Amino acid sequence: MQKVRSELESEIAIRQVIQFFFYEQWHALRLYCAQKSIRVVGDIAIFVDYDSADVWAHPELYRLNENLEPEVVSGVPPDAFSATGQRWGNPLYNWDAIRARGYEWWIQRLRWSTQTCDYIRLDHFRGFAQFWEIPANEPTAINGRWVDGPRDELFIKLRDALGGLPFFAEDLGYITPDVHALRENHKIPGMAVLQFGFGDPGAHVYLPHRLTPDRVVYTGTHDNDTTLGWWKTASDHERRAVEALVGRCEDGVNWAFIRLAQSSVASFSVVPVQDVLGLGSEARLNIPSKREGNYHWRMQPGSLTRELADKLARLAEVTDRLPHPIPVPTSQDFVA
């Protein structure tokens, strides 16, 4: 390490300066947002990459072999969307080793997140109850097994260390009763995506009349097509169901979905800016399991107009979603 620090001293210094100024600017932005009663939502992936600083610095916290290569990797089993499942390839945690250290790594990770954002979306929440374990030599996710995660113990430790759990859970997909129980035990809101609600009666759990306050409702997420893109490829059954619920959408099905989300009883309503702008599939952010070509779309300057702002403001007012004043962070809140 001393040799590396000496050889790479100038490169390390450059990165330290870049990170210092990034976080100075980020905290200034958060302060400005707080003064305007705007909350910032962050996102935490449940797993980290094999080539990450975390695995390099703490290999004992991951399921690695004697050559420091993954023994098992992450993913999800086959489902209606993929006959071979999804093999994400992240190394899986050695939860016994993490537990023996009092979940210190997770506490540090989430503490830093709460210092940079107001709320945190926990990705792949079901992995905290059970996760899909795939042998590293398997090319697909077919030959895996469900293994128990840390469950309640992790969230008890996080609440004790952080003083609360400002999280909501990405609990979509194949969700078993124990996953719902884990989320409900710790009063962590789950998610509902309107685009998923029109396929069949079983999908109606995602529609406004079936929601409860312990939900965060989305018109669509970063993993979905935009609402207009989804509408163009929706089945006839889905289209009829949408029209039966919302009637004629003179200003577009995207605004019909925005109204449904905003007028629901869900604690939070999340609307991708692409839906506000009425954009199609050309503005989609991500296609899950597709490795290339994602996250290329950028909003252009001038896209958000006063007319759109007024329209959103009137809707927020009538649906009781106007922002409430929030405590303004101090410099002490940003100390790692």
Q: Which residues are catalytic?
A: 123, 170, 223
Q: Which of 291, 301, 295 is nearest to 283 (CA)?
A: 295
Neighbours of 171 (CB within 10 A): 22
Q: Is-contact 154 100, C-beta < 8 A?
A: no
Q: Is-contact 140 84, C-beta < 8 A?
A: yes
**Alpha-carbon distance 316 to 38, whole Å?**
13
**Alpha-carbon distance 201 to 97, whole Å?**
44
Q: DSSP code of 163? A: S
Q: Which residues contact 277 (CB under 8 A, 6 or more apart)?
A: 283, 299, 303, 304, 308
Dihedral of alpha carbons 332, 161, 100, 109, sign = negative
Q: Which of 8, 13, 34, 21 is nearest to 324 (CA)?
A: 34
Dihedral of alpha carbons 81, 223, 270, 257, sign = negative
**Alpha-carbon distance 122 to 218, whole Å?**
15
* Torsion of Cα atoms, 309 then 314 then 316 then 320, to 10°: 160
Tokens of 224: 């979905």
β-pairing, 119-122 vs 167-169, is: parallel
